Structure 1
Amino acid sequence: MPFYELTLITRNLAKPDLYKTLHRAAKTLLEHGAVIRELQSLGHRDLPHKLSAKQTKESTYSSNYFLISLYMSRDEQTTMNSVLHKDLDILKSKFVKIEPEEQIECTLDEELKPVTQRQSVQDLRQNQKVGHFTRQKIYKRVEKEWRAIPKSFPIAPMRE
Structure 2
Amino acid sequence: MVAYELSLLVKAASKPNLVNIVKRTSEMIMDNKGYIEKIEFLGTKPLPLKISSHGRTHNRASYFLIHYHTSYENFSKIQDNCKRDTDIIRPVIYHKTTPSEITCTLNEEIKPPAYRADVALMIKEGEERLPFTVKLKRKRDAALKNYLFN
Common fold, TM-score beyond 0.5?
yes
Please identify, of 22-31 and 113-122, the stretch whose mean Cα deviation from structure 2 is larger: 113-122
- The one-letter code of the counterpart of 2:121 is D
- The one-letter code of the counterpart of 2:119 is V
Structure 2 gaps, min length 5: 133-150
Task: Give the structure with the higher percent strand.
Answer: 2
Partner of 2:24 in structure 1?
24
In structure 2, what is the Cα distance between the partners aligned to 1:130 and 1:22? 64
In structure 2, what is the Cα distance between the partners aligned to 1:89 and 1:113? 57
Partner of 2:124 in structure 1?
126
- The one-letter code of the counterpart of 1:31 is D
Count of aligned pairs between the two proteins = 130
Look up the SS of the partner of 1:63 in the other structure.
strand
Partner of 1:10 in structure 2?
10
Partner of 1:88 in structure 2?
86
1:117 to 105, 115, 118: 115
In structure 2, what is the Cα distance between the partners aligned to 1:33 and 1:121? 53
Partner of 1:61 in structure 2?
59
Partner of 2:106 in structure 1?
108
Label 1:131 to 1:63 Cα distance change in 2 as closer, same or farther (>3 A): farther
Displacement of 1:94: 1.2
Look up the SS of the partner of 1:127 in the other structure.
helix
Displacement of 1:131: 6.5
In structure 2, what is the Cα distance between the partners aligned to 1:35 and 1:108? 39
Displacement of 1:44: 2.1
- The one-letter code of the counterpart of 1:126 is K
Displacement of 1:111: 3.0
